[in-house]
Structure 1
Amino acid sequence: MNINTEILFSAIVATGIAGALSKFFSLPIRSARWHFLLTRLWVPGVALFLLSAVFGVKSERINDVYWLLVFAATAAMLVRLRNYRPARTVLLAMAPFVLWFGLEFLVALFGNRLIREYEDVFETAQGFTIFWMITFGLIARSQKKQLEAERLVREEEEKAKQRIEAQNSELERMVSERTAALTQQAEELRYTLTELKTTQAQLIQAEKMASLGELTAGIAHEIQNPLNFVNNFSEVSSELLQELEEEQQKPNRDTELESELLADLKQNLQKISHHGHRASSIVRGMLEHSRASTGERQLTDLNALCDEYLRLAYHGLRAKDKTFNATLDTHFDPTLGPVNVISQDVGRVLLNLLTNAFYAVQQRQKRQEPGYKPTVVVSTNNRAGCTEIRVRDNGMGIPENVKQKIFQPFFTTKPTGEGTGLGLSLSYDIITKGHGGSLSMESEEGKGTEFIITLPI
């Protein structure tokens, strides 16, 4: 093969290598500019071929210059793609061969004598660079396959991500529709809740009125006693005044008798005043119970309050059932001082608990058990940091399956028409939420029930 033909052959080989590299590195996608330049590497070869043919140049160095140009262009392309791992590997694969080729070219410029003397060395070096280039070429090929596999995985992940996003979008649409439906339901529930609250307020008011009715009946019975005393002592006092006037009109007045009459009159007036205050106290308690609670706390004698409402609840039930009688047992702690509470609210709680206690013993009394004596016990105790009030009865007791529901609103064990089921619920809220205390219950079916109120001092 002559020199000119060798240049033309080199151009064809370089074009093939450039096409292979362009395809290997996907240059049309990665860099259209370098793809264009590499696929035009045959142009300098053809130009050198024509120049050498026209001017009759026969030097072998023309072909070497062309290859150096090819190597330079390829190296520049690989440097441009240095972020792509196979490109760095191919650059490393070419480096020894290009170095060997450049060294041989420089040595050949000064003559071929040195090359002939060290021909074995140059051939060995050439073989090593070719082996090196093939080895790292295979490594680059393996790296490309690995990156391609990773790219496919990423594409699958991206597709999966897109599918997930599509599903999320669909779910968001469904959630939006469901949210709109729930919002509409919430509005309907809010309207229903408003109606329920209105009904509840009416029921609570009915419960208060029922409680007030029971209290009024007890007060009517309780107030009758001091009024009877007032009437009786008023009549006796009128008789004493009449005797005193008659004695004063006598010519011979008995001063000793007049003193006795005045002393009796004074004692009667004191008793009238005492029982009048007693009646006023009962009326005042009735007014306090009937009016809405102001929420203001005041120091209250709980012993007196318990005693007051015990008798009012008892006489309230007796006003309905004249045949009912029960033993009232009190154990009040004398060391218990005034406690800062809302007296009207605590009074309502006591009235509810005591009314329930008397109702329980009344129901058991109707069974006519031999030897049964209805008894309601009220006791107070001064504990460490708190005051304890206990209301115990020996009535029917509460079944186990009912105990957990006893403080629930609208739950009642009484027959229809005899209770709203709000008494204990309201009492629980007054003690726990209104006073920061506790209201608990202990009961044994067939033996009785005890309610325990604990109020912080």
Structure 2
Amino acid sequence: MSTEILEQEIALLRQENASLKQQIAASIAELNTTIAKLEQEISEHKQTEVVLKASQAELLAIFNAIQDVILILDFEGRYLKIAPSSAPSLYKPPVELLGKTMHEVLPAAFADYFLDGVHKVLKTRQIEKLEYSLPVGDREIWFEATVAPMSENTVVCVARDISDRQQIEAQLRHQTKDLEQTLQELKRTQAQMLQAEKMSSLGQLVAGVAHEINNPVNFIHGNLSHLEAHIQDLLHIIHLYPQQSLETEISDLDAEIDLEYIKDDLPKILSSMKVGTQRIRQIVLSLRNFSRMDEADFKAVDIHEGIDSTLMILQYRLKEKSERPAIQVVKNYGTLPLIECYPGQLNQVFMNILANAIDVLEQRIESKDAPLPTITISTSLVAEGWVKIAIADNGGGMPEDVQKKVFNPFFTTKPVGKGTGMGMSISYQIVTEKHRGKLECCSIVGEGTEFVIEIPIQQ
């Protein structure tokens, strides 16, 4: 082989060697890059593993901390997983439950009930809530289980101990029953207080009627003896007419009995008795108008007639007494249509307000400069379809703290035994609830008090 050829082959070998070196260097560089990537992936994997372990530890801590029981069950009700294993309300330890069906470890009736719920969840794919109780240890524990679909044939169940809640609910039911009994007792007490208030008002009414009727009855009774004497004398004269010597005997009798006086006095007696009987009839009519006992339903009535009837019943209390002058009543009646109301109940309101006003005016210590005791009653039309009745007195008035309590049940400023404390409370109920109206009190200390009633014309 010539030297020239040998040198060419050597050069070619050198060239191939250089190319091989470049390839090896490239492969080494690529290998280094791959190793670096693997090292990075390994590092990231280790970091992920650390995070997963931390998450697992955190999740395990959460499972161990919660008191709820978490179960994974299949279509047959087989226990696939149980967490946490230390839950105090587990029916049995996990080792005795895992891999077994509910029918193998639980009472048959309960297993049927729970498995029906599992099948319903798997069929509808909807969450189902179940409540049940199981004997755990030496006591009965109530559970509330939330069953949700997990896969095609498995469900997850979270069972929570609700024994405390059941106990609280039982206590609440017992308390509710006690409260219902208390409410019934309060209703009975309220009915008794209403009856007591009615009897109190009835007592005032009877006293007023008795006082008012007493005067004309006494007047009639007093005149009866005179009338009887006059009639006896007249009968004697009539008896003498068939007898002889009539003229002489009549003349003697005329001088004895004063026939002229009888002729003058007898018509006066009869007229006075007629006035007395008319007065009694008027009182009885006012009593009937006030009580309205035969009217239980709404009826269109004249409000002014009800007020006047109430004033007639209270007339004896308005008259002059030794400790005070007569109480004046000023009526400022507007033109009102007939009002649909419960007449008897509304008259009861008028009675309560007017009686209280009279009480205030009687209790007030009158001085020389004190105004004449007066009650002012005003009526008027207000907003469309409404009427207003204002009853005011010029007594001593009420401080603000008393005004705030005036409609409260059992509140009274009267001495013990003088009031039930229910009059204004009942009045407020009658106006606001029975008539869908308003009852307000406005009072200024030293000037007086005004009660304002507003009710719709039509109910």
What TM-score comes out, normalization by structure 1 length? 0.59
Matched ranges for 1:66-145 at <5 A:
120-121=22-23, 123-145=25-47
Gaps of 5+ in 2: 1-15, 69-86, 88-143, 145-158, 242-267
Q: Are the structure 2 counterparts of residues 268 and 115 from structure 1 closer, same or farther at C-alpha, using a change threshold of 3 Å?
A: farther
Name the residue aligned to 1:402. 402
**What amino acid sits opposite 2:434 in the alignment?**
G
Alpha-carbon distance in structure 1 between the residues aligned to 2:217 and 2:382: 39
Give the secondary-structure state (helix, strand or coil) at the position aligned to 1:436: coil
**What amino acid sits opposite 1:301 in the alignment?**
D
Of all paired residues, the percent bearing the same amino acid is 30
Correspondence 1:430 to 2:420: no
Candidates 282, 285, 288, aligned match of 2:286: 282
Name the residue aligned to 2:175. 185
Provide, for residues 50-95 of structure 1, a one-character-per-residue CA deviation record: whole Å limited to 9, x for no partner.
xxxxxxxxxxxxxxxxxxxxxxxxxxxxxxxxxxxxxxxxxxxxxx
CA contact (8 A) 1:233 1:271 kept: no
Number of matched residues? 321
CA contact (8 A) 1:115 1:122 kept: no
CA apart distance, 1:141: 2.8
Name the residue aligned to 1:196. 186
**What amino acid sits opposite 1:278 in the alignment?**
Q
**What amino acid sits opposite 1:310 in the alignment?**
L
Provide, for residues 74-126 of structure 1, a one-character-per-residue CA deviation record: whole Å limited to 9, x for no partner.
xxxxxxxxxxxxxxxxxxxxxxxxxxxxxxxxxxxxxxxx9996562354145
Name the residue aligned to 1:10. none
Higher helix proportion (structure 1 or 2): 1
CA apart distance, 1:383: 1.3
Higher strand proportion (structure 1 or 2): 2
CA apart distance, 1:333: 2.9
CA contact (8 A) 1:391 1:450 kept: yes
Alpha-carbon distance in structure 1 between the residues aligned to 2:17 and 2:226: 160
Alpha-carbon distance in structure 2 between the residues aligned to 1:136 and 1:318: 117
Alpha-carbon distance in structure 2 between the residues aligned to 1:154 and 1:298: 80
Name the residue aligned to 1:69. none
**What amino acid sits opposite 1:297 in the alignment?**
F
Alpha-carbon distance in structure 2 between the residues aligned to 1:394 and 1:325: 14
Name the residue aligned to 1:12. none
Name the residue aligned to 2:65. 163
Name the residue aligned to 1:215. 205
Alpha-carbon distance in structure 2 between the residues aligned to 1:317 and 1:181: 58
Matched ranges for 1:27-426 at <5 A:
120-121=22-23, 123-160=25-62, 162-165=64-67, 172-223=162-213, 278-285=282-289, 287-288=291-292, 291=293, 294=296, 296-315=297-316, 325-364=325-364, 367-372=365-370, 373-385=372-384, 386-426=386-426
Alpha-carbon distance in structure 1 between the residues aligned to 2:216 and 2:404: 43
CA apart distance, 1:148: 3.1
Give the secondary-structure state (helix, strand or coil) at the position aligned to 1:404: helix
Alpha-carbon distance in structure 1 between the residues aligned to 2:440 and 2:181: 35
Identify which range, 310-319 or 426-435, moves more after superposition. Answer: 310-319
Alpha-carbon distance in structure 1 between the residues aligned to 2:377 and 2:167: 60
Gaps of 5+ in 1: 1-113, 250-263
CA apart distance, 1:271: 7.2
Alpha-carbon distance in structure 1 between the residues aligned to 2:339 and 2:52: 80
Provide, for residues 188-239 of structure 1, a one-character-per-residue CA deviation record: whole Å limited to 9, x for no partner.
3333333232222112111111011111222233445776899999999999
Alpha-carbon distance in structure 2 between the residues aligned to 1:233 and 1:126: 150
Alpha-carbon distance in structure 1 between the residues aligned to 2:406 and 2:32: 97
Give the secondary-structure state (helix, strand or coil) at the position aligned to 2:381: strand
Superposition RMSD in Å: 4.3
CA contact (8 A) 1:392 1:450 kept: yes
Q: Are the structure 2 counterparts of residues 235 and 158 from structure 1 closer, same or farther at C-alpha, using a change threshold of 3 Å?
A: farther
CA apart distance, 1:344: 0.7
Alpha-carbon distance in structure 2 between the residues aligned to 1:148 and 1:285: 95
Q: Are the structure 2 counterparts of residues 188 and 198 from structure 1 closer, same or farther at C-alpha, using a change threshold of 3 Å?
A: same
**What amino acid sits opposite 2:308 in the alignment?**
D
**What amino acid sits opposite 2:442 in the alignment?**
E
Identify which range, 162-171 or 218-227, moves more after superposition. Answer: 162-171
CA apart distance, 1:362: 0.5
Alpha-carbon distance in structure 2 between the residues aligned to 1:356 and 1:115: 130
Alpha-carbon distance in structure 1 between the residues aligned to 2:402 and 2:161: 46
What TM-score comes out, normalization by structure 2 length? 0.58
Q: Are the structure 2 counterparts of residues 411 and 152 from structure 1 closer, same or farther at C-alpha, using a change threshold of 3 Å?
A: same
**What amino acid sits opposite 2:298 in the alignment?**
R
Alpha-carbon distance in structure 1 between the residues aligned to 2:164 and 2:363: 59
Identify which range, 216-225 or 355-364, moves more after superposition. Answer: 216-225
Q: Are the structure 2 counterparts of residues 370 and 271 from structure 1 closer, same or farther at C-alpha, using a change threshold of 3 Å?
A: closer
Give the secondary-structure state (helix, strand or coil) at the position aligned to 2:314: helix
